[in-house]
Chains A and B, each alone.
Chain A
């Protein structure tokens, strides 16, 4: 009896009625999507590449590598006079700001 009820219930469940969808549902979705922009999650590297492409610059990898090499060359070729000059500037700054302390 119970098995019979189980079978009947399963049969009713399988016969659940589904009203057919509109014929043009898929077409409507496709057309609607054509007017929608996609959200693009781009990485930092991709945005740098886009920026370079926008300004017609060479590949970012080459530019960054060249800048790094140039920086290293400039760093290594800095003369002692330049360094002394910087030290002199720092000394002047500390001399000027020393007066501001008591005020």
Chain B
């Protein structure tokens, strides 16, 4: 009888991965690839780069699963966010910032060409401004506007307290508001 992998918690799957279980690893990958890809994409603004980072993160986990220590009481997702964020920062240090993709698809087909163009430009400027933010402000913003990450979890991922995270967020938003005045 096959193991009911979807019913297992991340913690249980990790314990199996530490024993060398490929099916448990596969379940973890299927379960979490999407969310970590989205985060990596927000950092890097490039599909190939984001995919490479996520692949790298999961392969590192497979090669040395003992790095995640259950007894430290950290949720796997929180710990792995940290891994992915660090890999994204490393990637950005090693490589030059990537240019934004010019052929962005239209977000809503009901929009007129002018509206779509304006929206595209707005997004492009926003991404450039976010990329220009200090590293910690950018990380706070990327984590908090990513689905499912609460402010407390984002603070845990960044290793700061909730107040510090809120302050980083506020500074980031103030800067963005200033720089994007013409779009608001």
Contact = CB atoms under 8 A, between A and B. Distances in A.
Interface of A: 4-6, 8-10, 12-19, 21-22, 25-26, 28-30, 32-34, 36-39, 41
A32 B55 contact: yes
Contacts of A41: 66
A38 B173 contact: no
Contacts of B42: 16, 18
A4 B176 CA distance: 14
Given A4-B184, A17-B107, A38-B65, 11 more contacts: A12-B122, A12-B180, A16-B126, A16-B127, A17-B104, A21-B47, A21-B54, A33-B58, A37-B63, A38-B20, A39-B64
B64 A30 contact: no
14 contacts: A9-B184, A10-B173, A12-B126, A16-B42, A18-B42, A21-B47, A22-B51, A29-B58, A30-B22, A32-B55, A33-B58, A33-B62, A38-B62, A39-B64
Contacts of B181: 5
A65 to B, nearest CB: 29
Interface stretch (B32-40, B88-96, B160-168): B32-40
The 10 closest A-B CB pairs, nearest first, are A33-B62, A21-B37, A26-B33, A5-B184, A8-B184, A39-B64, A30-B26, A29-B58, A19-B47, A13-B145
A38 B25 CA distance: 12
A28 B181 CA distance: 43
A16 B183 CA distance: 14
A16 B123 contact: yes
A29 B41 contact: no
B50 A21 contact: yes
Interface residues on B, range: 35 or more
A6 B174 CA distance: 9
Given A9-B173, A36-B59, A38-B64, A21 B26 contact: no
Contacts of B180: 9, 12
B29 A30 contact: yes
Given A9-B176, A30-B29, A21 B123 contact: no
B20 A21 contact: no
A82 to B, nearest CB: 50
A19 B58 contact: no
Nearest to A17: B123
Contacts of B107: 15, 17
B112 interface: no
B101 interface: yes
Contacts of A28: 55
A39 to B, nearest CB: 5
